[in-house]
Amino acid sequence: MATSEDGRLAAELAAAAGGLLLDLRAAGGSGRTLGDRGDRSANELLIRGLRDRRPGDAVLSEESADTAARLSADRVWIIDPLDGTREYGEPPRADWAVHVALWQRGELVAGAVALPALNVVHGTDEPEPPPPRTEGRLRIAVSRSRPPVLVEKLAVELDAELVPMGSAGVKATAVLRGEVDAYVHAGGQYEWDSAAPVAVARAAGLFCSRIDGSPLRYNQPDPSLPDLVVCRPELAQELLAAIAVYESAEGDR
């Protein structure tokens, strides 16, 4: 059974990995070399921390070899040691994150998203609801490097403003902070990209699903989980309806 200690551990480890990444960045370097070093070092820290503190749990990490053992485990930590590697390698960009989530018997039960460059950790332990929505056009966070065609079509349909950002964790928690109203992605993500952001967003009362409205399922044999919607709950119906119209039109072609 997950405990509040699991949530605190997720936040503690995410913050520690973030501190390590800041130190590496301050030591110099940039680009892919820095990103690779950061991925490797943060992964080692998280894996070591989980093995020491939760030795009976399985781990699914973007930076470690996957094994079938996790599929029969009751508890699986799903981690992305450095989400937004491209942005991390472009100092002083701040839109990169550390993701730590705990899946237990079918559900995400704890998690944390650290934004080290902003000195912020969003966790499931003491979630805060997003601030009241700002009047004006709908704002949708979108991938800075891979903006999906779907989201560009949505922006036209809903007269929304697209706000490009790096890490998925940064985009999802931007909804929490009231910087945007929604985050929509379609294509090319895995469980480690969204597990911790979704755990944190749900704990704060946000709506999370796949773009067809179906549940996001984790610890699957194939960790590909290519799309998601994270938004203020009052916007979910409008967003999903607009996405369904687009998907239907694409299916008719």
Per-residue pLDDT, 251? 66
Residues 6+ apart with CB under 8 A from 153: 246
Report the alpha-carbon distance of residue 32 to residue 180 in Å, rounded. 29
- The verdict on residue 130 lying in a domain is no
Last residue of a domain, one of 65, 96, 123: 123
Residues 114 and 157 in one domain: no
Token pair in block for residue 221? 């044999």
Q: d(Cα 27, Cα 25) in Å, to the nearest integer?
A: 5
* Cα–Cα dist 23/32, whole Å: 17
Query: β-strands 139-143, 161-165: how paired?
Result: parallel
Q: Which two tokens stand for residue 222?
A: 């194939």
Q: Are residues 25 and 50 in the same domain?
A: yes
Distance CA 227, CA 198 (A): 12
Closest CA to 2 of 110, 90, 117, 130: 110
Residues 106, 88 contacting (CB under 8 angstroms): no
178 and 91 fall within a common domain: no
Tell me if 57 is assigned to some domain. yes
Q: Among 97, 123, 149, where does a domain finish?
A: 123
Supply the pLDDT for residue 72. Answer: 97
Domain-embedded: residue 34: yes
CATH number at residue 14: 3.30.540.10
80 labeled part of a ligand binding site = yes
User: What is the per-residue pLDDT for 226?
Assistant: 95
Same domain, 75 and 148: no
DSSP track, 129-188: PPPPPPSSS-EEEEESS---HHHHHHHHHHTPEEEEES-HHHHHHHHHTTS-SEEEEESS
9 labelled binding-site residue: no
Pairing of strands 107-115, 58-61: unpaired
Last residue of a domain, one of 91, 123, 155: 123
Number of domains making up the chain: 2
In a shared domain, residues 111 and 146:
no
Phi, psi for residue 58 in degrees, rounded to 5: -90, 165
CATH code: domain of residue 156: 3.40.190.80
Q: How far is CA 229 from the centre of its chain?
A: 11
What 3-state class would DSSP assign to 215? coil
Same domain (yes/no): 172, 71? no
Same domain, 197 and 160: yes
- Asked if 162 contacts 122 with a C-beta cutoff of 8 angstroms, the reply is no
Which structural domain, as residue segments, surrounds residue 240? 138-251
Query: What whole-number distance in Å separates Cα of residue 202 and Cα of residue 111?
Result: 10
62 is in an annotated binding site: yes
Helix or strand (DSSP H, E) at 78: strand 75-83
pLDDT in tens, the chain (253 residues): 567 899 999 999 999 999 999 999 999 999 999 999 999 999 999 999 999 999 999 999 999 999 999 999 999 999 999 999 999 999 999 999 999 999 999 999 999 999 999 999 999 998 888 999 988 999 999 999 888 899 999 999 999 999 999 999 999 999 999 999 999 999 889 999 999 999 999 999 999 999 999 999 999 999 999 999 999 999 999 999 999 988 877 766 6
Question: Rounded to whole angstroms, how far apart are CA atoms 24 and 198?
Answer: 28
The reply to whether 20 and 118 lie within a common domain is: yes
Q: Is 52 annotated as a binding residue?
A: no
Sign, Cα dihedral of 123, 127, 128, 129: positive
Closest CA to 115 of 130, 94, 143: 94
